[in-house]
Amino acid sequence: MRFLRRSLTGLFLFAMTLGLLAYAGLLVRDAVQARLSDEPRMPEREERVYSVNVVTAEAETLRPVLTAYGEIRSRRELEIRAGASGRIVALADEMDEGGRVEANQLLARIDPADAEAARDRAEADLEDALAERDDATRALTLAEDNLAAAEDQVALYDRALSRQRDLADRGVGSTTAVEEAELQTANARSAVIQRRQAIAEAEARIASSETAIRRARLAVAEAERTLADTEVRAGFAGTLSEVSVVEGRRVSESEQIARLIDPEALEVAFRVSTQGYARLLDGDGELQRAPVTVRLDVAGTDLVAQGTIDRAAASVAEGETGRVIYARMERAPGFRPGDFVTVAVEEAPIDGLARLPATALDASGTVLAVTGDDRLEAVPVTLVRRQDDDILVDAAPVDGREVVAQRTPLLGAGIKVRTVARPEAAAPEPAEVEDLVELTEERRRRLVAFVEDSEAMPASAKERILAQLSAPQVPASVIERLEARIGG
């Protein structure tokens, strides 16, 4: 009985085990089939949002600025040349490089001994010609008196001939007496002719003496000019350059000894592209008298002067492009001919422009504007000008919209962004503290000597830089600029 009960219990347990295994196999099969038949479920991911700096594009009237580089020149220069050859016996104290002279000031004197001797000889020749004319005038007066006496004598002989003929007709006189009277009359008339010839010769002497006097006076004037050429004078007030003479040196005629430059009559010559030149023309094709700003970097400070466009070059040199424009400068202290400067030309104002950072524009001519749902949209714009780090574009497509200031490869149309105002548009940041350097005494003396000896630096700039150099610590940028100019 016990065996049967245990056998039945074992059979029951075995049956339950088989049933559970079968049920488990069905569950596994159903799970695998459900897994294979169901679509894969992807985990939900959040959209990435990028932070971008934006600026607001606003339509306004702007004056584009054309930037070019040019050279300072003087509109008034004079080559000072020796008018005569000889040895220089005197020089003005200002006859040095950079010397300031006044108009008609005596600069140099060439030995005048030969010129004075030539003038004295010419004056002596003039006196001889005047004396010859006086002698010829007196000879003419005597010849006229002799002619008058000869004509009176002819009249007497004519009356005597008439009496002899009357006596001969009455039979009282002789034929011989008549012939003698006729001969005397003929001789008297011959004497009149000789006197007239003497008058003609005297008049010819006077005319010849007048010609000699004119020649002598021309010789005197030429000698005086030659003597005046021994004095070299300044044609106008200005500054001397390229002085190449010393006292005692011999110079030849027309040899250049210096150059006189008027530092007040300066102009700047700069080259622009043909496209830029076309923008400076008015409706009649004439070059506008546009204002210009000339800037020169001098040892840590900027010299700035104003001017006005005056003219353009008449032709383009071979192998060159663009146009050369000349602008007259107004009062420009510190500038010197030969300075390399930056020129900014203000063009005519243009309506409907927007100023954007240059980094906002891509190569295809589009900018990224922010839509109402904070997504980016590519907007095509028309580039009008480039101004340093900014661009001027037609404001119509982006007027009043926020535009991405810096394009990156990660940004594109449709991307969701979070806008951040540009640092320039936000509250102004505190000025960056400049690095200060402590100088050794030898280095400080070297820089001070360079500043004090600089002729191109204006007095105000010298005072400012010397004050900085006298401090215990000096700005590093000032030291770098000064040492770059003196090769240190």
Q: Which whole number is the average pLDDT over 27-45?
A: 70
Give residue 488's pLDDT.
Answer: 46
Q: Which whole number is the average pLDDT over 79-86?
A: 89
Q: CATH number for the 350-421 domain, one of 2.50.20, 2.40.420, 3.30.750, 1.10.287? A: 2.40.420
Give residue 334's pLDDT.
Answer: 79
Q: For strand 50-56 and strand 417-421, is the pairing parallel, antiparallel, or unpaired?
A: parallel
pLDDT band (50, 70, 90) for residue 40: low
Which among 383, 303, 313 is positioned nearest to 350, based on CA atoms?
383
Q: How far is CA 33 from CA 24, 27, 28, 381, in A?
A: 14, 10, 9, 58
What integer best gives the mean pLDDT of the chain?
Answer: 83
| Four-residue CA torsion sign, 90, 93, 98, 103 | negative
Give residue 430's pLDDT.
Answer: 39
Question: Is residue 42's pLDDT more than 60?
Answer: no
Q: Which whole number is the average pLDDT over 21-49?
A: 74
Q: Which residues, 6+ apart, have CB-to-CB distance to 306 below 8 Å?
A: 291, 292, 293, 294, 329, 330
Question: Is residue 427's pLDDT more than 60?
Answer: no
Q: CATH number for the 262-346 domain, one of 2.40.30, 3.30.43, 2.60.200, 2.60.120? A: 2.40.30
Phi, psi (5° rounding) for residue 477?
Answer: -65, -35
Do the beta carbons of residue 259 and residue 316 sit within 8 Å?
Answer: no
Identify any residues that bridge with 441 across adjacent strands, giving them in sequence order. Answer: none
CATH code reported for the domain at 114-228 = 1.10.287.620
Question: Would the pTM count as exceeding 0.85?
Answer: no
Q: Which whole number is the average pLDDT over 55-84?
A: 89
Question: Is residue 25's pLDDT more than 70?
Answer: yes
Do the beta carbons of residue 309 and residue 294 sit within 8 Å?
Answer: no
> Where on the phi/psi map is residue 461: left (φ > 0), alpha (ψ -120 to 50), or beta?
alpha
Give residue limits of the domains in the chain.
77-111+230-260, 114-228, 262-346, 350-421, 436-485
Q: How far is CA 138 from CA 135, 148, 302, in A?
A: 5, 16, 82
Report the CATH fold assignment for 77-111+230-260.
Answer: OB fold (Dihydrolipoamide Acetyltransferase, E2P) (2.40.50)
Quickly list H helices, 417-485: 441-453, 459-470, 476-485
Taking only the tens place, the pLDDT of each residue in 259-312 is 998 888 899 999 998 888 988 888 888 888 889 999 887 655 678 889 999 999
Taking only the tens place, the pLDDT of each residue in 386-404 is 888 889 999 888 888 899 9
Taking only the tens place, the pLDDT of each residue in 124-141 is 999 998 988 888 888 888
Give residue 188's pLDDT.
Answer: 76
Taking only the tens place, the pLDDT of each residue in 430-457 is 334 456 777 788 888 888 888 887 766 6
